[in-house]
């Protein structure tokens, strides 16, 4: 990817962050200039946001979203449908219409799913998992949802 394309991807990501700020004006978004990615935004837990959220642009074209143990990238950000899915995932979580379901064995999280409410059920729209599944027999789930004000 050449320099002009990198500038375009940064503009795409900044546009997404501006749209999130427009839709959620009460939420504080902090840019972290020292992180080893092109753009790093933290939304700390605050009134209207129950859990810390991290958003980023990395590797020049990957839009990242993290909350709890969940972390997924949408790429390339030059495809409008990827940007739309990224924006839908973040706004869904921030609005409380999406949740993150973390799967544990013992005290170790081995999978986290971003799920969207679909009637009285939940539909998985993105999944993070590790290649190491702990051997503990004790399984548990942790439901992470935003409780907007």
> Which tens digit of pLDDT belongs to each residue from 22-78?
999 999 999 999 999 999 999 999 999 999 999 999 999 999 999 999 999 999 999
pLDDT tens digits, one per residue of 82-117? 999 999 999 999 999 999 999 999 999 999 999 999
Q: Which helix (H) or strand (E) holds 10?
A: helix 3-23
Phi-psi sector, 60: left (phi>0), alpha (psi -120 to 50), beta: left
Q: Is 106 left (phi over 0), alpha (psi -120 to 50) or beta?
A: left
pTM: 0.90
């Amino acid at each position: 990817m050449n320099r002009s394309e990198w500038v375009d991807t940064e503009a795409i990501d900044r546009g997404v962050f501006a749209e999130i700020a427009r839709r959620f004006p009460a939420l504080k978004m902090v840019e972290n200039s020292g992180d080893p990615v092109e753009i790093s935004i933290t939304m700390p837990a605050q009134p209207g946001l129950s859990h810390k959220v991290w958003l980023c642009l990395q590797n020049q074209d990957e839009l990242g979203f993290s909350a709890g143990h969940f972390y997924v990238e949408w790429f390339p950000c030059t495809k409008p449908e990827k940007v739309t899915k990224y924006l839908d995932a973040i706004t869904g979580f921030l609005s409380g219409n999406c949740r993150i379901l973390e799967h544990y064995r013992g005290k170790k999280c081995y999978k986290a799913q971003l799920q969207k409410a679909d009637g009285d059920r939940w539909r998985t729209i993105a999944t993070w998992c590790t290649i190491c599944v702990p051997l503990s027999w004790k399984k548990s789930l942790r439901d992470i949802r935003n409780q907007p004000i």
